């Protein structure tokens, strides 16, 4: 039997394996690998917890956003309703004010018309009395005086009718 290089490589291999087993290298490698696996599992679990927390925070923020949107929408609707009410109220106040002014103006016109009619009547009565006095002073006979008096009364009536219509 010749000992060749393959034999010595095989012997060296078994010696190497034996040394590894003697110093418990496979157990140490296994222990290191298990520690790495345990650390990786812990990191995965922690990442999943963080992921769940992020999902919870996201859902809370989405709820807050939807609540804020609803609140903003209700505020806008309330503002629109308030502005419409204010417009209607202001419009009603304006119409009430204009109606009052119109009534006041009509009342003043009516008062001015009545005052003008009174002034016309007073003036026509005054003129009639003055003309009667002049006629009486200048009159020669009573029949002429009666005719003039009657004609002046008719003229006054016609003048009043023209003024009042």
In tens digits, the chain (165 residues) has pLDDT values of 567 888 889 899 999 888 887 888 888 888 999 999 999 999 999 999 999 999 999 999 999 999 999 999 999 999 999 999 999 999 999 999 999 999 999 999 999 989 888 888 888 888 877 777 776 666 556 677 677 778 888 887 787 777 666
Residue 121, exposed/middle/buried by CB under 10 A (0-12, 13-18, 19+)?
Answer: middle
Q: What is the distance between the alpha carbons of residues 109 and 106, in angstroms, rounded to a whole number?
A: 5
Compute the distance between CA of residue 142 and CA of residue 139 in angstroms, rounded to an integer. 7
Q: Are 152 and 132 in contact (CB under 8 A)?
A: yes
Q: What angle do CA 6, 7, 12 make, to 5 degrees?
A: 95
- How far apart CA 100 and CA 95 sit, in angstroms, is 8
| Whether pTM exceeds 0.75 | no
Task: Delimit the domains of the chain by residue range.
Answer: 10-164
Distance CA 122, CA 127 (A): 8
């Amino acid at each position: 039997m010749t000992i060749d290089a393959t034999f010595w490589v095989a012997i060296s291999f078994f010696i190497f394996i034996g040394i590894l087993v003697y110093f418990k290298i496979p157990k140490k490698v296994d222990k290191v690998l298990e520690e790495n696996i345990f650390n990786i599992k812990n990191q995965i679990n922690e990442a999943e917890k963080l992921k769940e927390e992020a999902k919870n925070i996201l859902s809370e923020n989405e709820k807050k956003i939807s609540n804020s949107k609803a609140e903003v929408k209700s505020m806008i609707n309330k503002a629109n309703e308030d502005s419409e009410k204010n417009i209607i109220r202001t419009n009603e106040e304006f119409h009430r004010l204009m109606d009052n002014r119109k009534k006041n103006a009509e009342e003043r016109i009516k008062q001015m018309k009545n005052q003008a009619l009174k002034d016309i009547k007073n003036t026509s009565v005054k003129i009639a009395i003055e003309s009667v006095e002049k006629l009486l002073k200048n009159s020669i006979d009573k029949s002429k005086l009666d005719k003039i008096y009657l004609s002046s009364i008719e003229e006054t009536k016609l003048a009043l009718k023209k003024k009042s219509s």
